[in-house]
Amino acid sequence: MKMTHELGGIEWRDVSKRYGQHTVIPNFNLSIAAGEFIALLGPSGCGKSTLLRMLAGLEPVSSGRISIGGRDVTELAPGQRGIAMVFQQYALYPHMTVRDNMAFGLRNIRMAEAEIERRVAAAAQMLELQALLERKPMQLSGGQRQRVAIGRAVVKEPLAFLFDEPLSNLDAALRTRTRLELARLHKRLGATMLFVTHDQVEAMTLANRIAVMNQGRIEQFAAPMELYTRPATRFVAGFVGSPSMNFLPVQRAADEDGYCAVTLSNGATVRTAVPSFAADGAMELGLRPDAITPSADGQLQGVVEVIERLGDRTLLHVLLADGLLVVADAPPREAEPAIGATIRLRMELQRAHLFDAAGAAHHPA
């Protein structure tokens, strides 16, 4: 069952959303190619669900236009837009069987019963629901209910699938499994999928590209690993990555051999691998935890506050003399320091980023 939709592209053009005098989405523009799996990622209140609801026709647009498959849908009713939506809440009919829940929308539009049965059977096979078709929602687990909600969307064979935080109500193990099922579903269907989430792991593991949202605007729209390795702004650098990037306050020093040098809060001056750029004054040096490790010749010194053992890695939370708490990787297969011990930390400066006063990122060459 492959439903590649050549006309499944999505575009927001100069879209704004206002509630009275309060603007939550200011002049939003984004184009999604047919067949892409895109995530809108950001903290609560950043506008991602509002964008999805405007796309689905559940919220009116204050200004601008929205198109799906090259067709302007801004004024169309939700049922005329060629989309299917999966919500955080399953919203299944409790008195109906799984089969009838999946078929209900198709019967509403008076589709032929033979075609309904074909679509339900194909979706049930794809989502491993065949044995559950005669059960009612109360007889299903949370993961099974979410698969039924996804199946109800699949049978519509839409131009695009819209997912509004669909995994939030699942436990950790079910979230992982359902992520894999969604990835497989996208591969099988080839349809355009738009996924709204505040969970970076969901976005990083599912999406071809991610739009990182902040206060109704896109901070960066890029492939997952580009967001991680070359974040465009301090906001993206802090939001993408678990644990978050460390940010150390620094002052710009004289460049060395065409590269930026900075002075740390402890007075030491170090050269980065960031090519020189025109900016002076206070900045922040950004380093992922795996670029900071204990070493006798380290540039930083602090006290171990917390040791976080994660199985495949151990993280050290170290309080520096200036009151800043940094997270460092403990070398594998080495004795870890004791809590309360004073240690030195070495920064891999060839992997350090610089963030200027405006929050723009400057990366190593």
* pLDDT mean over 347-352: 97
Q: Which is nearest to 157 in space by CA: 101, 98, 102?
A: 102
Domain shared by 51 and 151, yes or no: yes
CATH number of the domain at 272, please: 2.40.50.140
Q: Cα(356)–Cα(365) distance, rounded to whole angstroms?
A: 17
Tokens of 37: 């799996």
Mean per-residue pLDDT, 86-101: 88
Asked whether residue 82 falls in the same domain as residue 219, the answer is yes
Pick from 35-39, 189-193, 357-361: least confident = 189-193
Do 253 and 267 fall within a single domain? yes
Q: Are residues 168 and 69 in the same domain?
A: yes
* DSSP label of 70: T
Are 124 and 262 contained in the same domain?
no
- Going from the C-alpha of 61 to that of each of 14, 53, 176, 219, the distances in angstroms are 10, 10, 34, 22
Peptide bond into 60 cis (omega under 30): no
Contact yes or no for 68/193 (Cβ under 8 A): no
Domain end, chosen from 209, 238, 267, is at 238
Position 3 in a domain? no
pLDDT at 3: 44
Range of the domain at 290: 243-362
Kindly state the greatest CA–CA separation across the chain: 77
Nearest 5 degrees, angle CA 338-CA 342-CA 343? 90
Kindly give the pairing relationship between strand 217-222 and strand 83-86: unpaired
Q: Among 168-177, 189-198, 276-285, 298-307, where is mean pLDDT lowest? A: 168-177
184 vs 227, which has greater pLDDT?
Answer: 227
- When pLDDT is averaged across residues 190-211 and rounded to a whole number, the result is 93
Burial pattern 146-159, b for ≥16 Cβ within 10 A else e, equals bbbbbbbbbbbbbb
Both 172 and 315 in a single domain?
A: no
Summary mean pLDDT of the chain: 91
Question: Which has more pLDDT, 3 or 343?
Answer: 343
Among 238, 265, 296, the domain boundary falls at 238
Query: At which of 238, 262, 281 does a domain end?
Result: 238
Q: Per DSSP, what are the bridge partners of residue 10?
A: 32, 68
For residue 246, what pLDDT band results from cuts at 50, 70 and 90? very high
Please state the domain count of the chain.
2
Position 205 in a domain = yes
Rounded to 5°, the CA angle 269-274-275 comes to 110
Q: Is 149 domain-assigned?
A: yes
135 in the same domain as 56: yes
Domain-located, residue 190: yes
Q: Are residues 200 and 265 in the same domain?
A: no
> Does 103 lie in the same domain as 152?
yes
14 shares its domain with 151: yes
**Site of tokens 């497989």:** 184
Predicted confidence (pLDDT) per residue in 123-154, tens digit: 898 888 999 999 999 999 888 888 898 899 88
CATH number where 77 lies: 3.40.50.300
pLDDT for the residue numbered 4: 41
- 141 and 177 in one domain? yes
Q: State mean pLDDT over 84-96.
A: 85
CA distance 347 to 364: 14
On whether residue 4 sits in a domain, the answer given is: no
Q: Is the pLDDT at 251 greater than 90, yes or no?
A: yes
Q: Tokens standing for 120?
A: 């339900």
Lowest mean pLDDT among 126-130, 204-208, 313-317: 126-130
What integer is the mean pLDDT of 336-362?
Answer: 95
pLDDT in tens, 13-57: 999 999 999 999 999 999 999 999 999 999 999 999 999 999 999
Cα 24 from Cα 18, distance rounded (Å): 6
Specify if 1 maps to a domain.
no
Judged against a pLDDT cut of 90, whether residue 331 lies above it is answered with no
Q: Is position 2 within any domain?
A: no
Which pLDDT band, with edges at 50, 70 and 90, does 174 fall under? confident
Q: Average pLDDT in the 159-173 region?
A: 83
> 310: helix, coil or strand?
coil
Q: What is the pLDDT of residue 143?
A: 82
- 82 belongs to a structural domain: yes
pLDDT of the residue at 7: 60
In this predicted structure, the answer to whether residue 6 has a pLDDT above a threshold of 80 is no
Question: Looking at the structure, do residues 234 and 262 belong to the same domain, yes or no?
Answer: no
